[in-house]
Structure 1
Amino acid sequence: MLLAVLLPFIIAIFIPMISKWKNKFHTGFFVTAVPVVIFIYFVQFLGTDFEPVAREYSWVPSLDMNILFYLDGLSLLFVLLISGIGSLVAFYSIYYLHKSEQLGHFYVYFLLFMGSMLGVVLSDNVFVLYTFWEFTSLSSFLLIGFWNHREGSRYGALKSMLITVFGGLSLLGGLVFMSVITSTASIQEMIGQQELILNHEFFPLILGFILLGAFTKSAQFPFHIWLPDAMEAPTPVSAYLHSATMVKAGIFLVARFLPMLSVSDWFFIIVSSVGIATLCWGSYMAVRQTDLKAILAFSTISQLGMIMAMLGFGTEIAIFAAVFHILNHATFKGSLFMVAGIIDHETGSRDIRRLGGLMTFLPITATLALIASFSMAGVPLPFLNGFYSKELFFESAIHLDLSVSGITETLQTLFPYLAVLGSIFTFVYSMYFFFGTFRGKADIDELPKKPHEAPIGMLVSPIVLVLGVVIIGLFPDLINQPFIEHAASAVGGIDIQHSIYYWHGISPAFIMSIAVLAFGTILYISRSKWESVYKAVPGVLSLNKFYDGLVDRAEKYSTTITNSYMNGSLGRYVRLILLAILLVTFSVMSLTSGFTIDSSNLAKVTIQEILIAVVMVIAAVATILTNNRIAAILILGVVGYGLAMLFVHYRAPDLALTQFIVETVTVALFLLVFYHLPKLEKNDQSVTTKIMNLSISIAFGLMMTMVAISSHSSKMFDSMSSYFVENSYKLGGGDNIVNVILVDFRGLDTLFEITVLGIAAMAIFALIRLRGKKKGE
C-alpha cells in the first residue's frame, strides 16, 4: 500500500528523462500506466465481505508521525476514483496536449498531485494527512498555472493556492487541537474518543477550523470563487481536479470526521446550510456564464454543495445518497469536461455564444454530452445514474426528522424547497450546456477552426465515463453492495444498507423531480426573458471584487510598510533587528520569571578573571575610539584572545583552541584585505542617532548578560548534561563529550551547518566572479 502511494512520486523523478523522447514516444503513454497499476491493485479489495485494512510504517516515531494508512469503504471509493479517473485523464491528455508542450513539467505536476491525493484519502495520521493536503494545494497550483505565459493562468493558480492554503492552515489548527485533547494522531482513535472532543471547551474552535479547511478546498460558498478561475488550466487538469480529486478533498474530510462531528447540532446547521446555499448559488450563476468550462465550473460548485448538504443532514439515507452522488458526479462531470475540451480543441472556441449546431459535425461528442448533461440534470430516465442520487437527495431533504426546535426546525422546513430551487437551475444549466452547444443554427464562419469529430483516442476516455453513467443507471446493484454500502457505512460509522431502484411509486421525491423538470423546462425556454435578473442579483456585488480588493490592499499596505524601513541604511536595519530581539526577549523573560538570579552554586570570581575582563572591556572601547585601521584590527583581536584566555582559565581547551584559531584567521583576513577596507572617517551622525545607538548597545549587552545569568539560575527543564556524560562513550564511542555531541547526537544539525557554510562559500565565490566580470577581468 505504501508503494502504491509512493509510486507516482517515484515515477515523477524519471519523467524529465523520459520526456526527452517525446518526439518518438508521447510521455503520456508511460504516465497512464501508473494510475492503471494503482487501480488494478486496489480494485481487488472490492467485495461484499470487505473489511478495513490498516498499515503502519515508521517515519518520525518521536513526534508521533508514523505513516498510518487505513483503507475502508470511504477511502477505497476515493482511491478508485483518483486512480480510475486519473487513468482516463492521462490517456485523454495524450491527444489533447501536443508534443511541443512542456510535457515533462505537466506530467511531473500531474503525478505529484495524484500521489498527494492518494496520501490524503489513505492517511490515518492527521499530520501525515495535512502534509499530503498541502501537497495537493502546491501541485494543483502548478497544474492550474501550467500555461504560465497566460495572465489568467497565473491569476487562477495564485488565487486557488491562497484560498486553499488559508483553509489548510485552519485545518492544521483543528487537527492539532484534536491531537492534543486525545493524545493521539490517529483519526480512528480520535473517532473512538469522540465524547472527549465533543465535551471539550475548545470543540467550537475545532469544528470551525475543520470545516473552514473543508469548505475552502471543496469550493463552498463564499470560498467558491477560486474554482472558476482554475478553469485556465488545460482541460485534462480541469477534468481531473474538478470531477474526482481536488474539490472532493474537502468532501472527503467532512465524510471522514462525520461520525465524530455530526453529533453536534451546529454541524448540521453549518454544513447543511452552507451546502444548500452553495447548491443554489452555484446553479444560479452557472446559467449566467458563456464559457463552456465556466458553466461546468459553477455546475461543479453546485454539485459539491449538494453533496455537502447531504453530509450535513447526517441521516443514513443522506449519507448513502452523498456517497452515491460522489461516484455519479465523477462519471458525468469528468466526461463533460472532456467534451468541453474536445469542442475547444476541434473548433478553437469555448464561447457558447459562437457555438451551436455542432451535433452535425461532432455526432459522437454530442451523444456523449447528451447522456452526461441529462444525467447531471437528473432527468428521470432509467439509464441515467444522476437521477437516482438526485431522488435520494430529495428524499433525504424531506425525511430529516431530527426532532429539534428553533433554528434547526426552521432549516428542516426550508431545505426541501431550497433543494428543489437549486435542482431547477441545475436542470437549466444542463440544458443550456447541451442545446446551446449542439443544437440551433451552426455559424461555421465565426469559429477559428472548421469543426470536425475528434480523433478516436480523444473520445475513448469520455466514452468510458459515459458508459459508467449508463451501466450504473441500468444496473445500480452491481456497485451497491460491494462498493457504495461499504463506503456509506464507513462514513456513518454504522452499517448502512439501502436499495437503489428506479421506480418507487408516486412519492414526494418523485413529485419534486417532476416539478424540477417542469419549472426547469419553462425557465430554460424563457431564459432570454428573465436573464436580466443577473443585473440585480448579484449586480455590481461580487466576491471576486472583494478578493481582488483584499489582495490589492494587502500588497499596497505591505509595500508601504516595507518601504518605510527598507531605505538602504544598514545601520537602520541593525537597529530594528536588535530592537525586535530586545522586545521579544525581555517580554518572554518577564512572562516566564526569566530575571531570576541565583548565585548560590557559582564559583568565586578570582583576580585573574577580573583582569582579563578589564582588558577585554578596554580593548572593546578602544576599538570604537581609534581612528587607525591597523590599530582597530589588532585591538579587536585582543578581545577575542581575551575570551580564549577565559576558556583556558575555565579548563575548556577545545573551546580555547577553536577561539584562538578563529581570532588568528580573522585578524589575518582583515590584514589581507587591508588595502580594500574603507578609511575610518569622523562620525558625522546626529546626537540623537548616537544616543540611540549607545542605548541599544547597552541594552543588548545587558540582555545577553541577563540571558546568561537567567539560563543558569532558572531551570525550566531537567539538564541534559548528565545524559551526555553517561552515554557519550557508551553510545557514541568517544571520550570527548563535545565531539560526540556534535558528530553523533547532533550529527544532522552539524551536517546542515556545514551545508549552510558550503552554500555561503559558493555565494561568496559567485560574488567575487561577478565583481571580476564587471571590472573586465
Structure 2
Amino acid sequence: MSWLHIMIFIPFIYAIIIPFLYKLFNHKFHTGWLVIPIPILIFIYLSSYITTISNGEVLSYTLSWIPSLNINFTAYLDGLSLIFGLIITGIGALVILYSIYYMSKEREALHNFYVYLCLFMGAMLGVVFSDHVLVLYVFWELTSISSFLLIAYWFQRKQSRYGAQKALLITVFGGLAMLMGFIMLSMMSGTYSIREMLTLVDQLNTQSLFIPAMVLILLGAFTKSAQFPFSIWLPDAMEAPTPISAYLHSATMVKAGIYLVSRFTPLFGGNEVWFWLVSGIGLITLLYGSINAVRQTDLKALLAYSTISQLGLIMSLLGVGSAAMYFETLEQSAVYGAAVFTAIFHLFNHSTFKGALFMVVGIIDHETGTRDIRKLRGLIQVMPITFTLALIGSFSMAGLPPFNGFLSKEMFFTAMINISNLSVFNMETFGLLFPIIAWIASVFTFIYCMILVLKPFTGRPELAKLEKIAHEPPIGMLVPPIILAGLVIFIFFFPNLLGKYLIAPAYHSILPSITDPNIKISAWHGWWTPELMMTLGVIIIGSLMYYFLHKWIGIYRFYPQSITLNNLYNEGLDKSESFFRKMTNKYMNGSLRSYLIYILVFIVITLMSSSVLLNALVFDASKDAPISFYEWGLIIAALFAAFTVLFSKSRMISLIGVGTLGYLVSMFFVIFRAPDLALTQFVVETVTTALFLLCFYHLPRFGKYLGTIRFKLTNLIVSIGVGLTVTLIALSANGFKLFESIGGYFENAYELAGAKNIVNAILVDFRGFDTMLEISVLTIAGLGVYTLIKLQLSGRDKDETK
C-alpha cells in the first residue's frame, strides 16, 4: 500500500475513531481541534508533489482489491488530481478551523458532524485520485451519502430533511446514469482504467455506444455540479450549517462534476455532441443562476444561486476548450484550449472567494441571528473586518481588480469571443450567442455581488431590530476567511506562480496533446480591447441596474410559480408518491398467501419464458439410473402424503401429511448414501412440526372463503405451475450439462481439506464463508427475537406497576 492510498484512507479511519475521542475529550476542548490535523497533514503531503508534478511527472500506485474481477484501487496523481486534492484538503482545514468557533460544543453533536465531514473528505479524495471507474463510482456515491448526512445534520428541521432528500435523489440518479456510462465504456474498451480508455479514443469514438455513454456520464456530472435543470437541489442544501455550505457547496462536492468533465475531455473532446452539451448547459446554468441570485433575500440563498452561476461558467469554459481536440494544428488547438486553462484557473479562484463569502455570511448569521437582507443595514459600523472580507470576496466574484476573479473573468470573455469565430459545430450560426450570454450573465453577477456587499453593510443602521447584539466574531472565526481573502489578492499580483505550478499541470492532464499552452496571465491586455469594453459595459450597466433595482425587481413576480423547476420537482415527487402508494396498496393487502402467489408466479413466468426463449428445455434420460421397487414405494407414499395435505379439511391431518412427506424425503437421503443430510432433515422436520403445532394453536379457524372455487382454482394453477416448472428445469438440467459435475472435485475432500466427511468439508471448508454468514443471519435473528421478547416483558412489567 502506497502513501497515496494511506492518505485517502486516513479520513475514513479517523471517522471511526472520532466518536471515542469525542467521548473522552469533548468536556475539555472542542472536538474540531482533534480533527484539523488530518487535512493539514494531507495538504502538506500533497504539496510536496507540486514540483514533481509541475515537471511533467505522473505517479500511479495500484492496490489489489478484487483481482478476480479485475477491480484494483489504482491511485493516480497528476496535475488535475493534485489541484483538486489541494483544494479539498486546504479548504477542508480552513472549514474545520472555522467550525470550531461556529459550532458550539455544548449544544451540537460534534462527533456526528466531524464523522460525516471526514467521510466526505475521504470520499472526495477517492473520487479525484481513482483511476478505476468502478472504484471512482463507489467514492462518488459515498460523497452523495455523506453530503446527505451533512445537509440533514440539523435533522429536527423539516427543511433540512427536505434539502437532504432532494440532494440525494438528484445526485444518486445522476450517479446511476454515470455508472451505466462507465459500464458502456468498459464494454467498448475492454478495460476499467480511465488512463487506458483515454489511449483508445480512435477506437471508441466510432462505436455505437460512444454517444450514449457520453450522455450518461454527463448526467452524473451535471447533477453533482448543479447544472441546469438539476440545479434545484443546491439552494435547498443551504439548510446545512454554514461550514458545510462553505466546504461542500463552494469548494468540493459541487466541483466533482467539473472534475469528471475535465477528466474525460481527452476522450470525448472534439465531438460536437460533447461540445454543445457541456458549453450549452454551462451557459444556460450561468445565466439561470445569475438571474435568480438577484431576487434572493436570504444571503445563503443568494450565494447558492451565485455558486450555480459560477459552476455554469466553469462548465461552459470546459465545453468551449474541448473544441481544441477537433483541430490538428497546434496553433488552433492552443487558441481554443486556453479556455480549459481559464476553467481551472477560475475553479481555483472560485474556491477562494466563494469560500470566504460563505464564511462571511456565516459570521453575519452567527453574530446577528439573521441572514435576511431586508433586516440587515449598516453593519459596517460594528463589523468593519467582516465588511472588508465581504468586499474582497464580492468584488472578486464580480470580476473587479485588484482581485483574482478579475483575471479569470477577463480570460473568460476572451474565450467566449474566440469561440464565436469557430467555423465548425454550426458555430457560424450560433457562435455570437456565446459572448452575448456571457456578458448578460456577468451584468447580473455584478448586481448580486453589489447586493451581497452593500445591502447588509451600508445604509442607516437598524441594529436594535436584530435578534443579537451585532459585533465582530472571535478571531478564530475570522482567520479562515482572512487567509482566503489574502489568497484572492495575492493571486492577482502573482498569478503566473499559480499558473506555472498548479494550473498548467492540470491543463496538460486535460489536453495532453497541446504540449505548450504558452499562456501568461496578465491583468492588462491593452486599450480598447473587446474584453475591456465588455468589462466596462458590465460595470456601467450593472451599476445603473443596481441603483434602480427597486424599480424593476418586481418583474420577478410576473413569472408563474407553477412552472418553476422547484414546483415541478415537488409536484412530480408528490404525484409519483401518490401513484406508487395507491399501486402498492393494491397488492400489499396483508395476506401472506397473496405475497407467495406474487413471488411464485414471477418465478414461473421468468424461468419458463427464459427456458423456452433460450431453447434450454432438453431432456436426456439415457444415463439415468433405474428406479428400484423400494424407491417406487417411497415415491407412492410421498404422493399419498402430498394429496393428504391438499384434500384434508383438518389442520392436524394436513400437518401430519407435511411431516410424513418430510420424513419420506429423509429416507431418500438414506438410500442415496447421505446420512448427514438425512439426519439434518429429520431434525428440521421435527422442529418445524413442533413450530407448526404451536402456530396452529393460536390461529383462528378456517374462513369461509377457503372453500370458494376461486380460492381453490388459484391455488391449483399456481401449484401446478410451480411443480411443472421445477420438474422440467430439474430434468433439463440433468440431461443438458454444459460442464462436468462438480461432485468429482468434492470427492477428493480428504486430500483437499483433510476431512473424511464430504458434507462436513463442503459446509466448513469449501463453503465456509457461506456457512459463517448463515450463522450470522441466525444470530442476528435470534438477537432480534430476544430483544422483542425482552421489550414486551418490560412493557408488561410497567403496565403491572401502574
Q: TM-score range by the shorter chain?
A: over 0.9
CA pair 726-605 structure 1, distance change in 2 beyond 3 A: closer
Contact 1:134 1:165 in 2 (8 A): yes
Equivalences for residues 255-334 of structure 1 within 5 A: 255-313=262-320, 314=322, 315-334=336-355
Structure 1 residue 519: Cα displacement? 1.5
Aligned to 1:248, what secondary structure does the other structure show?
A: helix
Could you tell me which of 499, 509, 518 is aligned with 2:531?
Answer: 509
Equivalences for residues 202-281 of structure 1 within 5 A: 202-281=209-288
Give distance in 2, aligned partners of 1:273 and 1:212: 14
CA displacement, residues 113-165 of structure 1 (integer Å, 9 cap, x when unaligned)? 00000000000010110000000000000000000111110000000000000
**Is residue 639 of structure 2 the alignment partner of residue 617 of structure 1?**
yes
Could you tell me which of 52, 59, 67 is aligned with 1:61?
Answer: 67
Give distance in 1, aligned partners of 2:780 and 2:444: 59
Aligned to 1:67, what secondary structure does the other structure show?
A: strand
Give distance in 2, aligned partners of 1:249 and 1:307: 12
Contact 1:377 1:423 in 2 (8 A): yes
Structure 1 residue 520: Cα displacement? 1.3
Aligned to 1:3: 6
Give distance in 2, aligned partners of 1:473 and 1:211: 33
Equivalences for residues 319-358 of structure 1 within 5 A: 319-358=340-379
Match for 2:464: what amino acid? D
Deviates further, 723-732 or 328-337: 723-732
Equivalences for residues 18-29 of structure 1 within 5 A: 18-20=21-23, 21-29=25-33
Aligned to 1:608: 630
**Is residue 711 of structure 2 the alignment partner of residue 708 of structure 1?**
no
Match for 1:43: what amino acid? S
Give distance in 2, aligned partners of 1:707 and 1:388: 71
Contact 1:56 1:66 in 2 (8 A): yes
Structure 1 residue 499: Cα displacement? 0.8
Equivalences for residues 673-752 of structure 1 within 5 A: 676=698, 684-715=706-737, 718-719=739-740, 721=742, 724-725=745-746, 728-752=749-773
CA pair 632-305 structure 1, distance change in 2 beyond 3 A: same
**Is residue 414 of structure 2 the alignment partner of residue 414 of structure 1?**
no
**Is residue 484 of structure 2 the alignment partner of residue 469 of structure 1?**
no
Structure 1 residue 682: Cα displacement? 7.4
Contact 1:145 1:233 in 2 (8 A): yes
Give distance in 2, aligned partners of 1:695 and 1:489: 67
Match for 2:411: what amino acid? L
Match for 2:492: what amino acid? G
Match for 1:712: what amino acid? N
Give distance in 1, aligned partners of 2:397 and 2:705: 78
Deviates further, 387-396 or 441-450: 441-450
Give distance in 2, aligned partners of 1:770 and 1:629: 32
CA pair 29-723 structure 1, distance change in 2 beyond 3 A: farther
Contact 2:124 2:143 in 1 (8 A): yes
CA pair 772-322 structure 1, distance change in 2 beyond 3 A: same
Normalised TM-score (structure 1)? 0.96
Could you tell me which of 44, 63, 80 is aligned with 2:86?
Answer: 80
Aligned to 1:45: 49
Structure 1 residue 747: Cα displacement? 2.1
Structure 1 residue 424: Cα displacement? 1.0
Deviates further, 8-17 or 130-139: 8-17
Give distance in 1, aligned partners of 2:364 and 2:741: 68
Contact 1:420 1:512 in 2 (8 A): yes
Contact 2:60 2:76 in 1 (8 A): yes
Contact 1:271 1:309 in 2 (8 A): yes
Match for 2:367: what amino acid? E
Match for 2:657: what amino acid? I
Aligned to 2:28, what secondary structure does the other structure show?
A: coil
Aligned to 1:164: 171
CA displacement, residues 304-348 of structure 1 (integer Å, 9 cap, x when unaligned)? 000000000123100100000110000000000000000000110
Contact 2:226 2:233 in 1 (8 A): yes
CA pair 723-408 structure 1, distance change in 2 beyond 3 A: farther
Aligned to 1:105: 112
Structure 1 residue 410: Cα displacement? 2.7
Structure 1 residue 283: Cα displacement? 0.3
Contact 2:706 2:712 in 1 (8 A): no
Match for 1:474: what amino acid? F
Contact 2:705 2:711 in 1 (8 A): no
Could you tell me which of 763, 766, 780 is aligned with 1:759?
Answer: 780
Give distance in 2, aligned partners of 1:138 and 1:658: 44
CA displacement, residues 603-625 of structure 1 (integer Å, 9 cap, x when unaligned)? 23333322211100101111333
Structure 1 residue 751: Cα displacement? 1.5
Normalised TM-score (structure 2)? 0.93
CA pair 612-402 structure 1, distance change in 2 beyond 3 A: farther
Structure 1 residue 757: Cα displacement? 1.4
Structure 1 residue 731: Cα displacement? 4.4
Structure 1 residue 284: Cα displacement? 0.5
Aligned to 2:615: 593
CA pair 356-728 structure 1, distance change in 2 beyond 3 A: farther
Structure 1 residue 32: Cα displacement? 0.9
Aligned to 2:681: 659
Give distance in 1, aligned partners of 2:403 and 2:681: 80
Deviates further, 699-708 or 356-365: 699-708
Give distance in 2, aligned partners of 1:478 and 1:736: 73
Contact 1:628 1:680 in 2 (8 A): no
Structure 1 residue 678: Cα displacement? 5.6
Structure 1 residue 183: Cα displacement? 1.3
Contact 1:292 1:340 in 2 (8 A): yes
Contact 2:562 2:568 in 1 (8 A): no
Structure 1 residue 774: Cα displacement? 6.2
Contact 1:724 1:737 in 2 (8 A): no
Structure 1 residue 723: Cα displacement? 7.4
CA pair 705-104 structure 1, distance change in 2 beyond 3 A: same
CA pair 423-733 structure 1, distance change in 2 beyond 3 A: farther
**Is residue 521 of structure 2 the alignment partner of residue 500 of structure 1?**
yes
Match for 1:256: what amino acid? R
Contact 1:269 1:408 in 2 (8 A): no
Match for 2:592: what amino acid? L
Match for 2:96: what amino acid? A
**Is residue 457 of structure 2 the alignment partner of residue 438 of structure 1?**
yes
Give distance in 1, aligned partners of 2:796 and 2:604: 42
Give distance in 2, aligned partners of 1:281 and 1:160: 19
Contact 1:734 1:740 in 2 (8 A): yes
Equivalences for residues 477-496 of structure 1 within 5 A: 477-494=496-513, 495=515, 496=517
Structure 1 residue 513: Cα displacement? 1.5
Aligned to 2:333: none
Deviates further, 648-657 or 391-400: 648-657
Deviates further, 294-303 or 670-679: 670-679
Contact 1:214 1:250 in 2 (8 A): yes
Give distance in 2, aligned partners of 1:468 and 1:12: 30
Aligned to 2:382, what secondary structure does the other structure show?
A: coil
Aligned to 1:455: 474
Q: Please, which runs of 5 or more residues in structure 1 have no aligned partner?
A: none
Aligned to 2:563, what secondary structure does the other structure show?
A: coil
CA pair 538-527 structure 1, distance change in 2 beyond 3 A: farther
Aligned length: 774
Deviates further, 749-758 or 481-490: 749-758
Give distance in 1, aligned partners of 2:742 and 2:155: 54
Give distance in 2, aligned partners of 1:731 and 1:258: 52
